[in-house]
Amino acid sequence: MNKLVFVTGATAGFGKAIAEKYAAAGCPVIITGRRKERLQQLQQELQQKYNVKVLPLEFDVQNRKEVFQAIKNLPAEWRPIDILVNNAGLAAGRDYFDEADLDDWDTMIDTNVKGLLYVSKAVIPLMIKKDASSGSKGHIINMGSIAGKEVYEKGNVYCASKFAVDAISQSMRIDLLRHGIKVTAIHPGAAETEFSLVRFKGDTAKATAIYEGYKPLTAGDIAEVVFFCTVLPEHVCINELALTPSQQANTIYFHKDNLGQ
């Protein structure tokens, strides 16, 4: 496979596994995130293991200027992007609406919603240009969540941000139709990554408890699904795809193992 892939949030979790999946398939990959050392380490790892080109780009998706600058400065060979995976995102806190922290709300909206918009707005012209020169159509994968389909207690603004990702994905699909750009929204349920550690601000006990009593999804599972959506024939577009662990029905209902309690 020879597609140029741009993955946001590649320093951990889903993004890292997605970058590896495409690298293993022989694709050049642009990996992005804020943690420079992790980006450099992943670049080395993927280059050595799969003999593919990897370009690390360090920026904060919340920072509009940084996003546009980084993408504007892409070297020529890295500009004809085929696949954009808008994955960078987070939950900050899990609190009742009236007790939640305003800064957490700002962070989630700025990252999950505005960050995704900025990156998309900067990358889409490159996809359109590529189509004009080679006839190759772009594909955008937006990382939503089952939290963007159904709200849960104390999920308030995280859920709202993922509902926004769902709405943005639907409207992108309509507005980009004339360019032949496919848009797929992936909506995962519980997956064990650094997500809960970030959400609970480093509280390992709280983070670990989220995944107790059932087998959560892994980052590798999500990478498989993302990859699958992008290797279908040109005329096929998976518009959205929700997946959960087999022991999870939705954001609320789990069938947990007997924990001996």
Q: Which of 169, 184, 193, 251 binds ligand NDP (CB under 6 A)?
A: 193
Q: Provide the token pair at 254.
A: 């789990």
**Is residue 22 flagged as an active site residue?**
no
Residues in 234-253 at the binding interface with ligand 8X3, rule: CB under 6 A? 251
Count of residues interacting with ligand NDP (CB under 6 A): 29
Which candidate, 217, 251, 137, places its Cα nearest to that of 183?
Answer: 137
Q: Is there a contact between 90 and 198 (Cβ–Cβ < 8 Å)?
A: yes
Q: How far is the CB of 194 from ligand NDP (least distance, A)?
A: 3
Q: Which stretch binds ligand NDP (CB under 6 A): 5-13, 18-26, 201-209, 229-237?
A: 5-13
What's the Cα-to-Cα distance from 11 to each of 19, 44, 140, rounded to whole Å?
10, 13, 19
242-202-158-67 Cα dihedral, nearest 10 degrees: -90
Report the C-alpha gap between 143 and 244 in whole angstroms: 14
Residue with Cβ nearer ligand NDP (91 or 127): 91
Of the ranges 30-38, 172-180, 240-248, 250-258, which one interacts with ligand NDP (CB under 6 A)? 30-38
Q: How many residues bind ligand 8X3 (CB under 6 A)?
A: 6
Site for ligand NDP in 69-98 (CB under 6 A): 87-90
Q: Classify 97 as helix, strand or coil.
A: helix
Q: Could you tell me the two tokens for 248?
A: 């999870």
86 makes contact with ligand 8X3 (CB under 6 A): no
95, 106, 194, 224: residue in contact with ligand NDP (rule CB under 6 A)? 194
Instruction: Out of 81, 127, 147, 176, name the contact with ligand 8X3 by CB under 6 A.
Output: 147
Do β-strands 83-86 and 54-58 pair in parallel, antiparallel, or remain unpaired? unpaired
- 251 contact, one of ligand NDP, ligand 8X3, none, CB 5-8 Å limit per kind: ligand 8X3
Residue selected from 43, 111, 184, 248 as contacting ligand NDP according to rule CB under 6 A: 111
Using CB under 6 A, which of 70, 119, 183, 190 touches ligand NDP?
190
CA–CA dist 179, 128 (Å, integer): 7
Rounded CA gap, 54 and 69, in Å?
19
Residue 71 found at the interface with ligand 8X3 (CB under 6 A):
no
Site for ligand 8X3 contains 145 (CB under 6 A): yes
* Integer Cα distance of 241 and 185 in angstroms: 6
Residue 82 or 166 with smaller CB distance to ligand 8X3: 166
* Binding of ligand NDP by 12 (CB under 6 A): yes
The DSSP secondary structure of 169-228, one letter per residue, reads HHHHHHHTGGGT-EEEEEEE--B-SSHHHHHTTT-HHHHHHHTTTS--B-HHHHHHHHHH
Q: Which is nearer to ligand NDP, 130 or 169 (CB)?
A: 169
Whole-angstrom distance, CA of residue 132 vs CA of residue 218: 38
- Annotated active-site residue in 96, 118, 152, 158: 158
Q: Which residues are catalytic?
A: 158
Binding site for ligand NDP (CB under 6 A): 8-15, 33-35, 60-62, 87-90, 111, 115, 143, 145, 188, 190-191, 193-195, 198
